[in-house]
Structure 1
Amino acid sequence: MQQLQPTDPPAYPVTFSVDYPDRQLNRVTTFFRLIVAIPVLIVLGSVVGGTWQWGYDDGEAAAAGAGGLLFFGPLLLILFRQKYPRWWFDWNLELQRFANRVACYLALMDDRYPSTDDHQSVHLIYRYPDVPTELNRWLPLVKWLLAIPHYIVLFFLHIGAIVAVIISWFAVLFTGRYPRGLFDYVEGAIRWQNRVAAYAFVLVTDQYPPFRLSA
């Protein structure tokens, strides 16, 4: 009688990983991380989005916004045209990659300053969807609602991640090393968040995000 072999969990179309820094980390930049990160946070904020207002002599006001993840555009095209323009997909992916490099820098997972274009030690991959066959045209209207259980889990995961980063801050200052167990936990929490964002807001997959920290 043939024995059933255990199978790996199905591959999710969104993958995320961070190279573990198996070396001595910079203690000085770790100590001042929140301060030295200010310039790149300003750059990220200018790209993620902003709104400006100004007035005219007649009292009328005008406002403009730019940047940020493209959500309503892809939603409308998936809904009415069953398309996801490749350049919109690439914009969302690269913006998420940049944001993740900044997040990992703040989480002390890398002491190299975040690059605006080089992937460095942070790897985020979205599989470009074949929209007519892989994406339900109506599902983007409710994905944000279906993801509510994940929001609840992520709330507690983020609290745990903050505690892990604080402990790791002390560990790096005294030993120069990031504890591997804490690193894996923070990486898993960010991975979970990326899967939920890709499903509910970037709209690149209809596969419901798995409830797991691992890849």
Structure 2
Amino acid sequence: MDHPYPVQFRVDYPDRELSRLSTALRIFAAIPIMIVLGTVSSGTWQWAHETGTVVASSAGGLLFAAPLIMIVFRQKYPRWWFEWNRELLRFSNRVVAYLALMDDRYPSTEDHQSVHLDFDHPDPDTDLNRWLPLIKWFLAIPHYVVLFFLDVAALVAVVVAWFAILITGRYPRGLFDFVEGVIRWHNRVVAYAFILVTDRYPLFSLRS
């Protein structure tokens, strides 16, 4: 019997008229929440000017190295590290779904809203191979290649959906399902290769 992939993702289809004004101005409306997301995600910014260079760094981001070390050397995955990764990934997905016009409600920093991402805390003793985290990022290379082209197609789909919503108020269901599938694929790869919550190789599929 086939078992569902341990990472489940879906976005509730908005079976209603979406706000045309919010859609038209989405890229500008999203700036504040993107700044918030940036402050809890890792990154470094650098400005050069006539008096020198200023560098600013943010703390946070998805935890990769620390869980990897703990799994390899201690066969442990601290639950609070897991919960940080899961909640940050959920928040990131809400922002991505908003940018992709899949919901016209402003992304919440806490509530799931229409975006649902679920995976269980793994037991490193029984669910994870202690040495596999060292090479998962490499094994996932075929997915990076496929996702590059899928991302380009998804961007085109979002642009087409933008015009469709402005004209009809509706997100074409076929385009919605495609964009949802690309985001789902990304989540599987991130869960497998970077936050290390499953050893099951990601599916080459847009479907759940």
TM-score, scaled to structure 2: 0.93
CA deviations on 1:103-136 (whole Å, 9 max, x unpaired) are 0000000000000000000000011111111101
Structure 1 segments (4+ residues) deviating >4 Å: 61-65
1:40–1:102 contact (8 Å) kept in structure 2: yes
Alignment partner, residue 24 of structure 2: 31
Structure number with greater Rg is 1
1:166 aligned onto 2:154 = no
Percent of pairs with identical residues: 68
1:75 aligned onto 2:64 = no
Distance 1:164 1:15 in 2: 22
1:117 aligned onto 2:110 = yes
For the structure 1 residues 26 and 139, does the alpha-carbon distance in structure 2 shift closer, same or farther, using more than 3 Å as the test?
A: same
SS in 1 for 2:171: coil
Distance 1:190 1:64 in 2: 27
**Residue pairs, 1:10-21, within 5 angstroms:** 10-21=3-14
**Residue pairs, 1:59-208, within 5 angstroms:** 65-208=58-201
CA deviations on 1:66-97 (whole Å, 9 max, x unpaired) are 11000000000000000000000000000000
Residue identity in the other structure for 1:89: F
Shift of 1:200: 0.1
**Residue pairs, 1:42-61, within 5 angstroms:** 42-51=35-44
Shift of 1:150: 0.4
SS in 1 for 2:143: helix
Shift of 1:10: 2.3
CA deviations on 1:165-198 (whole Å, 9 max, x unpaired) are 0000000000000000000000000000000000
Residue identity in the other structure for 2:84: W
Structure 1, unaligned runs of 5 or more:
1-6, 54-60
Shift of 1:49: 1.9
Distance 1:114 1:82 in 2: 35
TM-score, scaled to structure 1: 0.90
1:51–1:66 contact (8 Å) kept in structure 2: no
Distance 1:29 1:89 in 2: 34
Instruction: Give the count of matched residue pairs.
Output: 201
